[in-house]
Amino acid sequence: MFRKFGRYFYFLLFLCYLWLPPFATAAETNSPNIDAASYIVMDFETGVVLSEFQSDLPKPPASMTKMMTQFIVFDEVKKGNIAWEDMVTISPRAAAIDEAQIHLAAGDQVSIKELLIASVVQSANDATVALAEYIAGSEEKFVQMMNQKAKELGMNRTHFWNSTGLNKESYPDPPGGDERHVMSARDTAILAQKLLKSHPEIVQYTSLPSYTFFEGTPRAHRYYNWNWMLPGLSQFYQGVDGFKTGHTNAAGYCFTGTAKRSNFRLITVVMGTKSQVARFEETKKLLDFGFHHFEVKTLIPAQQAIPNNEYFSLPNALERSLPVVVSKPIRLPINKEELNQYTYQVTYKKHLQAPIKQGTVVGEVRVLYRGEEIKGMEPVPLISKTDMEKGSWLRLQLREWGDKLNYFFE
């Protein structure tokens, strides 16, 4: 009889499972429906992740690789190692590179600036390899610079084999070394964010809808940016001013994008979409999601206290407690529909002793959403608002006796 009742019980549970709605999760409630192998959308300023899927999965990035090549070019210009006006002699190897190109010929003399623009606008593989060879002497040595830079940026699921993102068969003379070539969606977003923060002037190139190379010569040709979301192109989206497309059979259709509206800039990555147009359609969904559901808000201005955490106790201080404030504003994109879901988690350093000078870091505060840490949000240091002197032995002893008396008479 018990077994018979048990069967009925489990059958009823199964019916309840079918009838009841699923439990809501943050992803189900807030995230967009994106048709891509992996994706991420992040706030540019803070790195806070607004939505993601399989974002740590290393995948072939195709020509999104070129963002790292461009990063190193800008770095080298800033260091003074090269100049935009430097003329590069195109090698036979660079001229022979297949796929997207501006049809460089061996022996051509082209400036660093024009090669950079070709890499950005046309995703030109010949121009990209020419830059790599000029800067490092060979593409292999340049790739070493790329991988070192990736480590410095915290791109932990990235490994480069070449400067372009091309498959091996597209190289008449492929580079040597470890042929693994992958980036995760998160690493790709980090790369775009750090590139734009380090070299904001790159936007003057990534925002170009088209560019004419070899202008004024019989070889003049106008190329249109592969980023069709730019003004005047077929997938225009307000605020988009970069970044980089990519496609190979292994990678599918990929796109790293960025758009700014008012004081709010987003970084998006989609990897493994199904077509040229699909990568932009899915990016639009991510941008719509970010701009519609979130707003940038300063929760606590700099030098202000955390609510209910205005003071920190120091056992040996002249005063009982030390006033503490945030060292910088707590500012991040907030889900407009759930403002009451944001709370603070304060952690103080252990074993702190007076004396303490004004501005000393005494702890940190994290912002929680629905009780969980926000991905990409770094903790904000808490600092002492004033100096705090050490109390004399007699004062501390009298305070202790007074506390004991108060406890006795309560």
Residue 283 forms part of a structural domain: yes
Query: Which ranges of 260-332 would DSSP assign to H, the alpha helix?
Result: 276-293
Residue 329 forms part of a structural domain: yes
Contacts of 257 (CB under 8 A, 6+ apart): 227, 229, 240, 242, 243, 267, 268, 269, 283, 286, 287
Which of 59, 66, 194, 285 is an active site residue?
A: 66
Residue 352 forms part of a structural domain: yes
308 lies in the same domain as 171:
no
247 lies in the same domain as 383:
no
Confidence at residue 173, expressed as pLDDT on a 0 to 100 scale: 86
Domain stops at, among 259, 293, 327: 293
Instruction: List the single range of 1-5, 122-126, 146-150 with lowest mean pLDDT.
Output: 1-5
Average confidence (pLDDT) over 14-33:
44
On average, the pLDDT of the chain sits at 87
46 lies in the same domain as 160:
yes
Q: Where residue 306 sits, what CATH number does that domain have?
A: 2.60.410.10
Residue 16 forms part of a structural domain: no
Q: Give the confidence band of 408 by pLDDT, cuts at 50, 70, 90.
A: low
Q: Which DSSP symbol is given to 135? A: H
Instruction: List the single range of 93-107, 240-254, 308-322 with lowest mean pLDDT.
Output: 308-322
Which of 55, 91, 119, 123 is an active site residue?
A: 123
Residue 4 forms part of a structural domain: no
283 lies in the same domain as 322:
no
195 lies in the same domain as 62:
yes
* pLDDT tens string 258-317: 999 998 999 999 999 999 999 999 999 999 999 999 999 899 999 888 888 777 677 655
244 lies in the same domain as 323:
no
Range of the domain at 287: 26-293
Confidence at residue 310, expressed as pLDDT on a 0 to 100 scale: 73
Q: Where residue 80 sits, what CATH number does that domain have?
A: 3.40.710.10
44 lies in the same domain as 181:
yes
256 lies in the same domain as 305:
no
Confidence at residue 11, expressed as pLDDT on a 0 to 100 scale: 46
pTM: 0.84
Confidence at residue 318, expressed as pLDDT on a 0 to 100 scale: 56
* pLDDT tens string 210-223: 999 999 999 999 99
Contacts 24+ apart (CB under 8 A), 204-208: 205/116, 205/117, 205/120, 205/121, 206/120, 206/241, 206/242, 206/243, 206/244, 207/241, 207/242, 208/117, 208/120, 208/121
* pLDDT tens string 97-106: 989 999 999 9
Whether 123 sits among the annotated catalytic residues: the reply is yes
Distances in Å between the Cα of 332 and the Cα atoms of 36, 46, 336 are 27, 7, 12
326 lies in the same domain as 289:
no
Per the structure, how many domains does the chain have? 2
330 lies in the same domain as 270:
no
Confidence at residue 407, expressed as pLDDT on a 0 to 100 scale: 54
Q: Give the confidence band of 349 by pLDDT, cuts at 50, 70, 90.
A: confident
Confidence at residue 397, expressed as pLDDT on a 0 to 100 scale: 53
221 lies in the same domain as 350:
no
Residue 403 forms part of a structural domain: no
Residue 11 forms part of a structural domain: no
Which of 63, 91, 184, 384 is an active site residue?
A: 63
348 lies in the same domain as 242:
no
Domain stops at, among 270, 293, 316: 293
Domain stops at, among 293, 316, 335: 293
Q: Which among 135, 190, 195 is positioned nearest to 143, based on CA atoms?
A: 135
